[in-house]
Structure 1
Amino acid sequence: MFGETLRQLRNERKLSIDKLSENLNAKYDVTISKSMISRWENSQTDPKMEYVRIIADYFHVSADKLLGIKEKPKELNPFDTLAAHAADRNHEFTPEEIDRIKGYIDGIIDNYESKHSDDK
């Protein structure tokens, strides 16, 4: 995945392997050879993490993107969802409303527990 992404980024910017090597070495004071870049792009070897960081910085992308790591969708806490729903509607709950919501939630939980008490 790294090699494919590196090649894509390099080609999008119309850079030859020679020019990319030259640019990286000059900007970051490293020694990244043309053959290293070629081996990475052809998935023959994997780069050191130091080089992943440098290449990510050079192309202004995350290391995760270079490595093909997709962000997992965050599991939402139901209470966060309720708060976000209220915020979307520009509503700030009063203390009384919060107490009513808590009571409603407690009632739902109590009802669930009473229906499933035999399952324990």
Structure 2
Amino acid sequence: MTATLIGERIKQLREKKKMTQNDVAIAVDKSRSDIAAYETKGTVPHIETIAKLADLFHVSIDYLAGRTEDPYQLYSIDEELTPEQKQVIYRLSDLLKEDLRCEDLKSAVDFLGFLSQQNMNRKKI
């Protein structure tokens, strides 16, 4: 974990979300100058602040700390998924962040269940 990498990731994620340093500071209960110091001066945030930043940007703490290149690492089921399955999970995660109606989400889950059932029926033949 390097301070400069944490700062680079904070800045990259902040800009991706079109947030100002002040926006981030308010969200994680810090000052704008603290956020600037993380991004430019190599100051390392306290672990509680890192956790708040990870939650704010919807990434893992390990991603912020430079331990992984995967910002959305799925720790509990990661080893069981193929790269293609992980890509689908990430895409679903992105879709969930959009303004979809609950009925649309339920229909999508129902459709995935239907496809799964069809695949199981094919295997029985």
Q: TM-score, normalised by structure 1?
A: 0.51
Asked if 1:16 corresponds to 2:14, the answer is no
Asked if 1:49 corresponds to 2:47, the answer is yes
Structure 1: runs of 5 or more not aligned: 26-31, 72-89, 91-120
Task: Give the Cα–Cα distance (whole angstroms) in 2 for the partners of residues 3 and 38 of structure 1.
Answer: 9
Give the direction of change, closer, same or farther, for the CA distance of 1:70–1:23 in structure 2 (3 Å limit). closer
Correspondences of 1:54-73 after superposition (within 5 Å): 54-70=52-68
Task: Give the Cα–Cα distance (whole angstroms) in 2 for the partners of residues 23 and 52 of structure 1.
Answer: 12
Task: Give the Cα–Cα distance (whole angstroms) in 1 for the partners of residues 27 and 50 of structure 2.
Answer: 15
Q: CA deviation at 1:44?
A: 2.8
Q: CA deviation at 1:2?
A: 0.3
> After superposition, what is the alpha-carbon deviation per residue over 1:5-32, rounded to whole angstroms, capped at 9, x for unaligned?
000000001101011112223xxxxxx1
Alignment coverage as a number of residue pairs:
66
Aligned-partner residue type, residue 27 of structure 2: N
Contact 2:28 2:49 survives alignment (8 Å):
no
Which structure's CA Rg is the greater one?
A: 1
Q: TM-score, normalised by structure 2?
A: 0.49
Task: Give the Cα–Cα distance (whole angstroms) in 2 for the partners of residues 23 and 10 of structure 1.
Answer: 11
Contact 2:25 2:32 survives alignment (8 Å):
yes
Runs of 4+ in 1 over 2 A off after TM superposition: none
Structure 2: runs of 5 or more not aligned: 70-122
Q: Larger RCO: Structure 1 or Structure 2 (Cα < 8 Å, ≥ 6 residues apart)?
A: 1
